[in-house]
Structures are given as structure tokens and as C-alpha cells.
A and B are shown apart, each in its own frame.
Chain A
Amino acid sequence: MNPDVAAAVDRLGEEGVLTPAQARLFSRVARRELVSARLEVRAALYVGVLLLTGGIALFVKESHERIGPAAIGLAIGAAAAGCLAWAWRNSPPFSWGDALSTQAGFDYVLLLGALLVATDLAFLETQLGLLGENWPWHLLVVAALYGLLAYRFDSRMLLSLALASFAAWRGVSVNLSSVTLGTGDPARLRVEALACGVLFVAMGVALRRAGRKPHFDDVYVNAGLLLGFGGLLSGVFATLNWPTWTLALILVAGATAFIAFRTGRTLPFALAVVATWLGLQRWIFAGAKMDPSAALLLSAASAATALVFIVFARRRMRIL
């Protein structure tokens, strides 16, 4: 029970701000006479998908030689088709605007179907070697599949996976817990990350302007900025030519922060501030490497400056 809200609802009902029907419903919720189990249902569905895909992957790994690729491929394909057919039947018609299904299980049945198709494709490619030495192209096929499903069923979840798969095709890892862009030549990965970043941001902006799923643009822009800043920071911390990279980072982050400030977007603004601060640390610690105490003091001062900037910006920012 939330006694403060319950008392407020009673008062608002008596003063005529709320209609009797509104006051009754809000009061029931505040007094815990009506409780939503939506979060629990969604969490159970998501954990169910995790367990199912984990179990199927393990089964395929352990049994592919015993059962044979054709049977496994068919079985996974049939399960995926079942999920996607259900999603098709229960989805609202396609629209370039918002077209979210109101069914609690929809997102997860769709996710399960998409993951099973991707697993099936990867399995068949592994077993049959259809693409030969071009096998990484199956990541592009998976990205395209996720992208198509994301647009058809209005799913940001699948769009995120599409962008991550596309980046994976280019060899760039979208892993927030990792400090590297992937394995291989760092210079090539930096270029790939920057190119993916620019492409994603450009797609987000272009599609929003064209009115094609404009609500997807934050997924494109945030993914693009993550990759772009990741590429620039990699240049700052892993190259000899780091002053140029730092300058580039500051320019890009400054432009991002300015646009984010003007458009009231908090996450791009935060990414720009954090990336700039991280980039400046290279300068500070390189400049004061003989005196760690001075470097730490300067670094603390840079954090305090960032703090002042954030507080100043927040007061003036019109948040969407």
C-alpha cells in the first residue's frame, strides 16, 4: 500500500479533480487491492527464452553428430516457423509508425523465433559450409533477417540485435564489458567501428526525417554513438598519434553534446561527456607522467569541471 498516494487520491476525488471512476481505480491500486503481474509475466517469458535457447544450443552441440544436421536443422526451423507464424497472426498490421502488440508474450515469442532462425542458419552454415571461406557473411544475413523482422513487427529489441550483428559482420564487438573493439588489426577495427557508427547515426537521422519508424532513431543513434566513440577512444588510447585522435574525439563529442542539448536527448549527451572526459585523461596522464599526484589532481579537477558542465547543462536542457 502507498498511504501517501491513497490519501492524495481521496483528497483529489473529494475536490473533484478526479472523477469517481478514476478515484476508485487509483485508490484500489494505491491500496494494493489491484496489483499488476505484468513485470513478472514478462520476466518469466524472457527467462524462458534464455533457458530454451541455451538448452537448444547445448542439445545441438552435444547431439549433432548422432542425429544428423538435416534432422536438427528441420526441427529448429519448424520451431522457429511456429513462433514467427504465431507472431504474424497476433501482430497488428504493418505501419511506419508505432505498431506495438499489446500481448505480453508477443516480444518474447518473436525474439525466440528470430533467435531460432539465426541459430538454424549458423548451424547449417557450420555443417554444410554453404558460404565457404565467406562464412562471416552469414552474420550479414542474420542482421538483415533481424532488421526485416524488427521493421515488420516494430521491435526495438530485434533492431538492436540487427545492428549488433551487422557490427559483428564487420568484426566489431558490441560488448559493453569489453575494452577492445574485437580481435584482429586494431587500426582496421577502428575504421570499421567509426564507419558503422557514422552509418547507424546517419540511418537513424534519415529514417526519422523520412517518417519511416521514426521512433527507432534512438536505437540507431545510441548504437552509432557507442561504436563511434569506441573507435575514437581506441585511437586515443592505442595509437602513437593520440593527440590527433583526442582532437577528433573532442570535436565529435562537442558536436554531439551540442545537438543532444538542443534536442533534449540525455543519453547521447551523457555519452559525449563521458567520452570527452575519458579522452582528456590521456592528455592529463601523458603530460604529468613524472608526478602521479599532479596527474590525479588534474584528473580530479577535470571530473569536477565535467560535473559543473553537467549541472549547468541540465538546468538549461529541455528534456524530451
Chain B
Amino acid sequence: MKKEWVAAERVEEVRAAADGWKRTGAVDKGTFEGVLRRFPEPRVLPAPIFRVLVGGFVSLAILLLLGAFAFAGGRTAGAFVVLLGVSGFACLAAAEFQERTPTFALRGGAGATAFWGIVFLLGGLGLFLGETLHVHEPEGPNILLLASLVLWTLAAWRWGSPAWALLAAVSLFLLLGRAPSGRLLWIAGGVALTFVFARVLDLPSWAPSHRRSAAVLVVAGLLGVYAALNLYVLDHRVVEFLRDPSLDLPGPRFRERIWSMLGTAILPVAVVWWGIRSRRSFVLDTGLVLSAVSLVTLRFYVHFAPLWMVLTAAGGVLFLLALALNRWLSRGSEGERHGFTAEPLFADEARFRALELVPVVAAHAPEARPPAPPGFQGGGGSFGGGGAGGSF
């Protein structure tokens, strides 16, 4: 990343924090303006919806243009390779230009062009390997995954987007999964990612976006280790499937399963413990998600109660635990315990509530009434009003 981009990001971090202070009434208007005067806006940051719109329309324009050229040009593999290669480099050049120009940076366009640039290059490379050089399994996909790892890593390093870091991590795990000891390599790779990037999470010399990328890599590392250890993944040979779907492997050995059971049970607890100890929300959240996955895995193997009872009990316990945690934190000295509080602090709760509407409506809105067939005699509709869904 260029020095001026890093400097701009640091100022944007402070301005975003000040926005939170102002929104929650922790500072008055005069103080807020004093902060903004000392940290003037280096680049205009449009509203999120504009960034999504710009990113979406840039993607549409790029894909439609590529489609037009693909239809107009020769239909040979070689022609497609050239088209994808040229488009890929053009998109990457456009991404670099936008990032370098403050009036174009952070508009959603730079991210879209960077993403499609890399996708096109990888597509072109895949076609070149398969159709021109006739490099097939296992070398072809391995080279492609290696290229994917390199390109997304370079993009994350250059433009600092956590999304590119995530795609690099996915490429890494897919590549490791294709090795003969893929499962062990997932564990080793996951542990290495977690430990290496956990050390730089608070490093002041790193750009804010690089620190966020490091957080993504820590989560990816934890997920990789957990996926390698999970009993369901082991029994279904999911990691080995990446190497060769046609492999007819024997089931896991007893000792492997014991280790896997221990890992499925212990790792989530260890991650939650780490999250609490370090007071890192994203680690804590990862641990909670892994705990939920482990409970689902347990239910898959052990049918200790009917599904409705498990769901109702789990929901009830989770609900009551969350209320109890909230109450316990609120009743601590100055509303906090061990550095945790139930207060939102400076988070934008209004935005969270607005975003919450989409999943709530998606999950609970009743199904539209069906058209009445001719001669319909009634006798009750389908159970599902009020969001329960499904027919009954």
C-alpha cells in the first residue's frame, strides 16, 4: 500500500470513531467539529448504498462488455484466453488507477474492477492450462489454486481489502487439501495462519485495512483447523474429497475418530476462552459459531431427543442465557464486568436494527395466500401464517 493511502485510512478510522461518539451523544457538536478539524477528510466516503450501487453497475458493465466481445470475437479457446487476459489486466489497471485517485477511491468501483480482474486472469489461466497446454489433474488445478493464492494475496497486500485476504485463505486451504496429507496440512496451515496473524492484529505500523485482513486470516485459520478436526467432516472425508472425488478411501480409524471427537468438543471452547481472555469480539464470535456447529454435529450423531424438543430447548436455553448475560453485565460495577459491557458503546445500533429487518421478514413473513381454485370450498388454509411457514 502507498504511504498516503495508509495515512488516509488512519484518519478515516479516527473520523469513524468520532461519528460513533457523536451519534451516541458522548460528545457534543462543538467537540465533534473540533475532532473533524484536526483530522480533515482525506477522501470523500460515499454512503454504503452508493458504494454497493457503483460496485454493482461497474460489475454489470464489465461483464456485459466482456460478453459482447466474446460474442463478437472468435469462439476458440485461444481467443477466449487472450480476451480474459486482456480484460483481466485492464481491470487491474483500472483498479490501481481508482485507488491512486482520491476522487475515485472507496466508491465501490475499485473493489469491483480488482475482483473481476483477478477472476478473469484466473479464468484465462485455467483455459490456457486446460485447452492450450492440456495440463489436467492434478497439476492444472494445483497451478490454478497457487495462482489464485498469489493473486489474492498480492491484491490484499496492495489494496488492503479483507475480502481479498479471505479469498487468499480459501485458495490456500483448497491447495493444501489437494496434498496427500491434506487434513494434517489444514491443521498445520490453520495453526500457522492463526498464530502469525494474531501477532500483528494490534501492530500500529500496519495499515488499518491490513489489520482487518489479519483478523480475517486469524478467523480463516481457526475455521480451517476446526474443519479438519470436525467429526462429520472426517467421517464424510470432505477434505480428502478435494484431492480426488473418485478416491475410494476406507473410513477413518478409531483413534482418528477419538481425536476428532475431542477436537470437535474442545476447540470451540478454547476459542471462546481465547476470545474472552483477549476481549477480541471477532474471536469470541468465531468460538460461538464453532460451538453451535459442534452442537449440531453432536445432534447428528446422538439422537437424545426429538428434533422439536432439541430446537425448543436450545432456543429457550440460548434466549435465557443471553438475557442472563445481559443482566449480569448490566449489574456489574459501572455496567461492566471483566472489561465487557452490555451497552452498545459507540456502535451504530440504528443501522443494525435496520439491517435486521431483512432476515426477520425473510424468515417470518407469511407465505402469500394461494389463488382460490374454481369451486373452492374452504375448510381451512395452510398452517404458516405469522411466519411459521410450510404447509400443515
Please tell me if the beta carbons of B340 and A35 are within 8 angstroms of each other in the complex: yes
Please tell me if the beta carbons of A171 and B369 are within 8 angstroms of each other in the complex: yes
The verdict on A37 contacting B379 (CB below 8 Å), with A18-B31, A139-B385, A161-B361 known, is no
Please tell me if the beta carbons of A48 and B308 are within 8 angstroms of each other in the complex: no
- Which residues of A (157-196) have their CB < 8 Å from a CB of B? 157, 160-161, 164-165, 167-177, 182-185
**Assembly CA distance A270 to B54 (angstroms):** 10
Cβ-based interface call for B254 (8 A)? no
Please tell me if the beta carbons of A50 and B363 are within 8 angstroms of each other in the complex: yes
Describe A's contact surface by its main secondary structure. helix
Please tell me if the beta carbons of A17 and B31 are within 8 angstroms of each other in the complex: yes
Q: Which residues of A contact B300 (CB under 8 A)?
A: none
Cβ-based interface call for A307 (8 A)? yes
**Assembly CA distance A194 to B160 (angstroms):** 44
Cβ-based interface call for B77 (8 A)? no
**Assembly CA distance A127 to B378 (angstroms):** 12
Q: Which residues of B contact A306 (CB under 8 A)?
A: 57
Q: Which residues of B contact A182 (CB under 8 A)?
A: 368
- Which residues of B (20-53) have their CB < 8 Å from a CB of A? 21, 26-27, 31, 34-35, 38-39, 46-47, 49-50, 52-53
Cβ-based interface call for A221 (8 A)? no
Q: A37 is contacted by which of B317, B341, B365 (Cβ under 8 Å)?
A: B341
**Assembly CA distance A266 to B49 (angstroms):** 7
Cβ-based interface call for B315 (8 A)? yes
Please tell me if the beta carbons of A52 and B316 are within 8 angstroms of each other in the complex: yes
Q: B380 is contacted by which of A60, A125, A176 (Cβ under 8 Å)?
A: A125
Please tell me if the beta carbons of A29 and B392 are within 8 angstroms of each other in the complex: no
Most buried by B among A32, A185, A300: A300
Using a Cβ–Cβ cut-off of 8 Å, how many residues does chain A contribute to the interface with B?
Answer: 120
Most buried by B among A125, A277, A310: A310
Choose the segment among A114-122, A206-214, A231-239, A241-249 that binds chain B (4+ C-beta atoms closer than 8 Å): A114-122
Please tell me if the beta carbons of A41 and B57 are within 8 angstroms of each other in the complex: no
**Minimal beta-carbon separation of B99 from chain A (angstroms):** 16
Q: B383 is contacted by which of A12, A122, A274, A303 (Cβ under 8 Å)?
A: A122
- Which residues of B (341-392) have their CB < 8 Å from a CB of A? 341-347, 349, 352-354, 356-372, 376-390, 392
Using a Cβ–Cβ cut-off of 8 Å, how many residues does chain B contribute to the interface with A?
Answer: 115
**Minimal beta-carbon separation of A38 from chain B (angstroms):** 4
**Minimal beta-carbon separation of B264 from chain A (angstroms):** 20
Please tell me if the beta carbons of B386 and A303 are within 8 angstroms of each other in the complex: no
**Minimal beta-carbon separation of A138 from chain B (angstroms):** 6
Most buried by A among B279, B382, B385: B385
**Assembly CA distance A62 to B280 (angstroms):** 42
Cβ-based interface call for B257 (8 A)? no
- Which residues of A (197-211) have their CB < 8 Å from a CB of B? none
Cβ-based interface call for A314 (8 A)? yes
**Assembly CA distance A86 to B227 (angstroms):** 41
**Assembly CA distance A47 to B311 (angstroms):** 11
Please tell me if the beta carbons of A105 and B380 are within 8 angstroms of each other in the complex: no
Please tell me if the beta carbons of A132 and B14 are within 8 angstroms of each other in the complex: no
Q: Which residues from chain A sit less than 8 Å from chain B, CB to CB?
A: 1-5, 7-8, 11-12, 15, 17-18, 22, 25-26, 29-30, 32-42, 44-63, 103-105, 107-108, 111-112, 114-115, 117-119, 121-123, 125-129, 131-136, 138-139, 142, 156-157, 160-161, 164-165, 167-177, 182-185, 219, 266-267, 270, 273-274, 277, 292-294, 296-297, 299-300, 303-304, 306-307, 310-311, 314, 319
Q: Which residues from chain B sit less than 8 Å from chain A, CB to CB?
A: 10, 13-14, 17, 21, 26-27, 31, 34-35, 38-39, 46-47, 49-50, 52-54, 56-58, 60-62, 64-65, 67-69, 71-72, 107, 109, 201-204, 208, 278-281, 284-285, 288, 292, 306-323, 325-326, 329, 336, 339-347, 349, 352-354, 356-372, 376-390, 392
A-B contact pairs, 16 of them (CB 8 A): A4-B10, A11-B38, A18-B27, A29-B346, A32-B339, A45-B318, A47-B315, A48-B322, A105-B319, A126-B381, A136-B381, A160-B361, A266-B47, A297-B68, A300-B60, A319-B47
- Which 4 residue pairs of A and B lie closest in terms of their CB atoms, listed nearest first? A118-B386, A133-B378, A51-B315, A55-B311
